[in-house]
């Protein structure tokens, strides 16, 4: 009982490190120009995927949510519509990831995880946007564009994450 | 290049399934948005009187008197369907929702037609 | 065989095309507003000729009835202000004045075309209003001895008024009167189906093919229609609104619809819309009688509508609530969600 109540565990350290990288990536992405407003590669997802494969679901969920909150505070969008879009996208994405990671490994690789995660982001953001920001069905006209970008960036994230995983597995860091 | 090849190798059967489903979703969403615009108004015709035009921009159930009796249609924010009909086969109810311009449900037994029309037909001039 | 079928389809297609009933639309800018004439089911040449006849008549009326530019009415107003007698050798103007006397007295002078001076004081006798609230003593001076149509005396072909403040302003009548003129011209030329819109005042002649003409009613605060309604053959519809001619001063809206009893612009309504059944002067009625319903205090509106025999009316009150007659409510189609509006059916 002499210990302080909050003692960072090893897991906390892992979360902190990975979340820090994810946050940096998010903030960089925030300042990069986007060809189409609202469409972003979501490179921070690479870290979430990495965490999920390398560690476990709960670590990945922590990293994802810490990333959403902290990066929005850094770029000054905390509690703004952008923040809620990003938060809800992350939540839906995590819920889908939780289900997908239970699929048999021999048939589903990181590619499926990545695609379904990016799909989740789109779905979550569209739900919030339809209910709150643009309460009209015309918003669904944007769906094809977002789905195509989700497919491309989902494949890309899986590609990068695959390289990272191989690399890190050799060096046994993290 | 080598890395891309390596990457392609990790794609498994289930992944292919996910990618194909994803592409299917894209095709579906593209075809849906091409079919836009959805209509703004509902035209109801029956055997008794002139056709009437209602806004689809509301949530309301309406009774329409037809040849056999009263049918009920339901308007719900941009779409419309039959919910009750005195006809025997209830094809009109099974048809479900319609929301796109020129979509029509005809209930032949009760002689009621509901169809979606665009903005252009809603009025001829504006009073101000 | 196949060729024959194709031919049949082509012929059917051509026939259906040629039978598509045509609508010809002609627009012009008269009375300081847009005049829009739609003619259904006539040849383009005929509809154009008749539209020109109507436009020419409207231009004549403009030069005849205009309240502040050079016109017959302006000359009369100048004569009265100078205390002299005005000679008119013109049956039409006498009839118009008689009609205005009649409408004003029936509407308990809520429709009062005799207060041109008050309207000018508020700055509405120019294209762009003054944007200035007049001084109280100026208003009170005119209110102390408020002019009515009764002040104008007709003696055969001479007009005079003992009250030299009398200024006739037919701004609330001329467009409606022009509708009735258009109706006559269309009838004289055998046009059975047309829709005439003069700055928002509308008369329906016949139908649009097998259905009635449908009119959108402007939302007083949004750039869209609030509702639409079928205008049966011969009916007219008119709206008085505070969103066409007005100015803002200290966040308060002052419209051109002046209450003759207070001397101030009426501020209990945003718009008043009425529909008038077929009659010789239905156009003029739809223009003139929308004013009393706009201007009168809320509690008097319903009585006034009954007294004037207006069965179809809708008033958007200042707070956005809607007062609507039961007959109007039965035929109107709301074009926007009603859940935020408070509708009272009378």
CA-based nearest distance C120→chain B, Å: 23
B touches which chains (3+ CB pairs under 8 A)?
A, C
Q: Is the Cβ of B50 closer than 8 Å to some Cβ of chain C?
A: yes
Chain B contacts of A108, Cβ < 8 Å?
Answer: 12, 14-15, 18
Whether residue B41 contacts residue B53, with contact meaning beta carbons closer than 8 Å, is answered with yes
Q: State whether C197 and C164 are in the same domain.
A: no
Contact (Cβ atoms closer than 8 angstroms) between residue C106 and residue C157: no
Contact between residue C290 and residue C169 where contact means Cβ atoms under 8 Å apart: no
Per-residue model confidence (pLDDT) at position C18: 41
Through-space distance between the first and last CA atoms of chain A, rounded to whole angstroms: 30
End-to-end CA distance of chain C: 66
| pLDDT of B41 | 79
Q: State what percent of residues in chain B have pLDDT above 70.
A: 84
* C234 is a domain residue: yes
What does the pLDDT look like over C227-280, one tens digit per residue?
889 999 999 999 999 988 888 888 899 999 999 999 999 999 999 999 999 999
- Residues in a beta bridge with B65: B70
Q: Is A108 on the interface with B (CB under 8 A)?
A: yes
> Chain-wide mean pLDDT for chain B?
80
Q: Considering only CB atoms, which chain B residues are within 8 Å of A110?
A: 10
Distance CA A13, CA A51 (A): 13
- Nearest beta carbon to residue A107 from set B6, B13, B32: B13
Q: Name every chain B residue with its beta carbon within 8 A of the beta carbon of C210.
A: 50
CA A63/CA A68 separation, integer angstroms: 9
Reading the block at residue C182, the tokens are 């258009």
**pLDDT at site C283:** 96
Under 8 Å CB-to-CB from A131, ≥6 apart: which residues? none
- Residues of chain C with Cβ-Cβ distance to B124 below 8 Å are 38, 195, 208, 213-215
Confidence (pLDDT) at C20: 43
Q: How far apart are CA C72 and CA C62, in angstroms?
A: 10
Shortest Cα distance from A154 to chain B (angstroms)? 10
Are C and A close enough to touch, i.e. 3+ CB pairs under 8 angstroms? no
A162 and B18 within 8 Å at the Cβ level: the answer is: no
Burial class (CB in 10 A: 0-12, 13-18, 19+), C177: buried
A151 touches B at CB < 8 Å: yes
Which of B3, B14, B8 lies closest to A112, judged by CA?
B14
Alpha-carbon distance C69 to C225, whole Å? 32
Flag whether residue B70 sits within 8 Å of chain C, measured between CB atoms.
no
User: Are C105 and C30 in the same domain?
Assistant: no
CA A137 to each of CA A39, B30, B121, C25, C44: distance values in angstroms, whole numbers, following the listed order: 19, 14, 21, 34, 41
> C196 with C336, same domain?
yes
Asked if the Cβ–Cβ distance from B126 to C244 is below 8 Å, we say no
d(CA C19, CA C94): 47
Q: Which phi and psi (to 5°) does residue C116 adopt?
A: -55, -35
Question: How many angstroms away from the CA of A26 is the closest CA of chain B?
Answer: 25
ipTM: 0.80
Q: Using a CB-CB distance cutoff of 8 angstroms, which residues of chain A are in contact with residue B6?
A: 162
pLDDT-based confidence at residue A79 (cuts at 50, 70, 90) = confident
Q: Say if the Cβ atoms of C216 and B125 lie within 8 Å.
A: yes
Same domain, yes or no, for C195 and C341?
yes
C116 is a domain residue: yes
Please enumerate in sequence order all residues whose Cβ is within 8 A of that of C157, keeping only pairs 6 or more positions apart, or say none: C87, C88, C89, C90, C94
**Helices (H), strands (E): how many in chain A?**
6, 0
Extents of the domains making up chain A: 10-171
Q: Is the pLDDT of residue A136 over 60?
A: no
Rounded CA gap, C71 and C77, in Å?
10
**Cβ distance of B14 and A104 shorter than 8 Å:** yes
C-alpha A55, offset from chain centre: 15
C215/B123 CB distance under 8 A: yes
Angle B119-B120-B122 (CA atoms, 0-180°, nearest 5)?
A: 65
Question: Which range marks the domain in which residue C102 is found?
Answer: 65-171
pLDDT at position A91 is: 95
Put residue A102 in one of left, alpha, beta given phi > 0 → left and psi -120 to 50 → alpha.
alpha
Residues sharing a CB contact under 8 Å with residue C175, sequence separation 6 or more, in sequence order: C31, C33, C198, C199, C201, C287
Across the interface, do B26 and A104 touch by the CB < 8 Å criterion? Answer: no
Instruction: Tell me whether B124 touches chain C (CB under 8 Å).
Output: yes
Please tell me which of the candidates B51, B54, B123 has its beta carbon nearest to residue C216. Answer: B123
What distance, in Å, lies between the first and last C-alpha atoms of chain B? 68
Give the rounded distance of the alpha carbon of A75 from its chain centre: 17
Adjacent-strand bridge partners of B63: B72
Q: Which two tokens stand for residue A156?
A: 């890309």
User: If you count them, how many residues does chain B have?
Assistant: 128
Q: Is the peptide bond before B37 cis (omega within 30 degrees of 0)?
A: yes
Q: A25-76 pLDDT, tens per residue?
A: 999 988 887 666 567 888 899 999 999 998 999 999 999 999 999 999 998 8
- Residue C180 counted as domain residue: no
With CB atoms and an 8 Å threshold, state whether B126 touches C208.
Answer: no
A106 to B26: CB separation less than 8 angstroms, yes or no: no
Q: Which residues of chain C have pLDDT under 50?
A: 1, 3, 6-8, 10-20
Which residues lie closer than 8 Å to C313 by C-beta, 6 or more apart?
C272, C273, C274, C275, C293, C305, C324, C325, C328
Residue C334, both tokens? 């709301």
* Residues pairing with C315 in the sheet: C272, C323
CB proximity list for B2: less than 8 A, separation 6 or greater: none
Domain end, chosen from C171, C206, C239, is at C171
Contact B7 A159 (CB under 8 A): yes
Is C94 contained in some domain? yes
**Cα–Cα distance for residue pair C329/C346, rounded to 1 Å:** 9
Contact A162 B4 (CB under 8 A): no
Looking at domain A10-171, its CATH architecture is Orthogonal Bundle (1.10)
Give pLDDT tens digits for B6-38.
Answer: 778 788 888 899 999 999 999 888 877 665 556
Residue C101: how many CB atoms within 10 A of its CB? Answer: 17
The reply to whether B49 touches chain C by the CB within 8 Å rule is no
Using the beta-carbon criterion (under 8 Å), do B127 and C334 form an inter-chain contact? Answer: no
Specify the 3-state DSSP secondary structure of C82: coil
pLDDT, residue C336, reads: 64
CB contacts of B55 in chain C (<8 Å) are 333-336
Average pLDDT value for residue range B100-112: 75
Q: How far apart are CA C219 and CA C225, in angstroms?
A: 5
CB pairs under 8 A between A and B: 68
In the predicted structure, residue A172 carries a pLDDT above the cut 60:
no
| Same domain, yes or no: C195 and C241 | yes
Residue contact B22–A151, C-beta within 8 A: yes
* pLDDT for position A61: 94
**Which residues of chain C have a Cβ shorter than 8 Å from any chain B Cβ?**
36, 38, 195, 197, 199-202, 208, 210-218, 225, 228, 230, 237-239, 241, 243-244, 273, 333-338
Task: Find the CATH number of the domain harbouring C242.
Answer: 3.10.520.10
């Amino acid at each position: 009982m002499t210990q302080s109540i909050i003692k960072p565990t090893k897991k906390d350290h892992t979360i902190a490190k990975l979340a820090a990288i994810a946050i940096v990536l998010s903030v960089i992405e925030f300042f990069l120009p986007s060809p189409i407003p609202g469409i972003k590669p979501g490179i921070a997802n690479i870290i979430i995927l990495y965490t999920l494969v390398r560690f476990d679901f709960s670590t990945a969920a922590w990293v994802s949510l810490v990333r959403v909150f902290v990066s929005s505070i850094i770029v000054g969008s905390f509690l703004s519509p952008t923040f809620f879009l990003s938060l809800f996208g992350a939540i839906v994405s995590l819920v889908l990831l939780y289900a997908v990671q239970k699929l048999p490994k021999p048939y589903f690789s990181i590619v499926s995880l990545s695609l379904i995660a990016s799909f989740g982001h789109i779905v979550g953001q569209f739900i919030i946007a339809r209910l709150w920001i643009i309460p009209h069905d015309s918003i669904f006209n944007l769906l094809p564009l977002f789905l195509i970008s989700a497919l491309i960036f989902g494949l890309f994230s899986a590609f990068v994450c695959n390289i990272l995983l191989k690399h890190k597995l050799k060096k046994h860091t993290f | 290049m080598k890395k891309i090849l390596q990457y392609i190798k990790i794609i498994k059967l289930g992944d292919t399934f996910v990618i194909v489903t994803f592409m299917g979703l894209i095709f579906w969403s593209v075809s849906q948005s091409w079919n836009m615009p959805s209509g703004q108004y509902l035209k109801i015709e029956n055997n008794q009187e002139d056709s009437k035009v209602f806004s689809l921009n509301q949530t309301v159930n309406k009774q329409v008197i037809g040849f056999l009796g009263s049918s009920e249609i339901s308007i719900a924010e941009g779409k419309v369907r039959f919910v009750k009909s005195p006809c025997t086969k209830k094809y009109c109810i099974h048809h479900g929702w319609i929301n796109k311009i020129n979509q029509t449900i005809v209930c032949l037994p009760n002689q009621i037609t509901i169809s979606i029309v665009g903005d252009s037909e809603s009025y001829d001039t504006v009073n101000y | 065989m196949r060729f024959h079928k194709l031919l049949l389809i082509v012929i059917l297609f051509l026939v259906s095309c040629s039978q598509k009933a045509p609508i010809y639309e002609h627009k012009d800018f008269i009375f300081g507003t847009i005049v829009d004439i739609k003619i259904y089911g006539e040849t383009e040449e005929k509809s154009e000729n008749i539209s020109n006849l109507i436009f020419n008549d409207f231009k004549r009326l403009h030069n005849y009835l205009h309240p502040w530019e050079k016109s017959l009415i302006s000359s009369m107003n100048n004569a009265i202000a100078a205390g002299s007698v005005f000679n008119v050798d013109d049956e039409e103007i006498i009839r118009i004045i008689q009609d205005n006397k009649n409408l004003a007295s029936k509407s308990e002078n809520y429709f009062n075309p005799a207060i041109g001076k008050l309207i000018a004081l508020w700055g509405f006798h120019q294209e762009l209003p003054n944007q200035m609230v007049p001084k109280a003593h100026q208003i009170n001076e005119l209110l102390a001895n408020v002019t009515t149509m009764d002040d104008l005396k007709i003696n055969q072909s001479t007009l005079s008024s003992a009250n030299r403040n009398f200024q006739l302003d037919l701004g609330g009548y001329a467009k409606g009167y022009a509708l009735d003129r258009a109706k006559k011209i269309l009838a004289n030329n055998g046009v059975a189906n047309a829709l005439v819109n003069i700055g928002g005042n509308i008369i329906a002649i016949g139908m649009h093919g097998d259905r009635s003409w449908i009119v959108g009613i402007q939302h007083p605060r949004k750039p869209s229609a609030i509702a639409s309604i079928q205008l049966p053959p011969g009916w007219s519809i008119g709206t008085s609104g505070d969103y066409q001619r007005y100015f803002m001063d200290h966040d308060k809206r002052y419209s051109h619809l002046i209450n003759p009893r207070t001397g101030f612009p009426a501020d209990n309504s945003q718009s008043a819309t009425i529909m008038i059944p077929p009659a010789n002067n239905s156009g003029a009625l739809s223009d003139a009688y929308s004013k009393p319903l706009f201007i009168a205090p809320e509690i008097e509106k319903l009585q006034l509508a009954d007294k004037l025999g207006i069965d179809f009316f809708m008033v958007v009150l200042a707070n956005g609530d809607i007062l609507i007659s039961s007959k109007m409510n039965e035929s109107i189609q709301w074009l926007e969600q009603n859940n935020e509006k408070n509708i009272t059916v009378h």
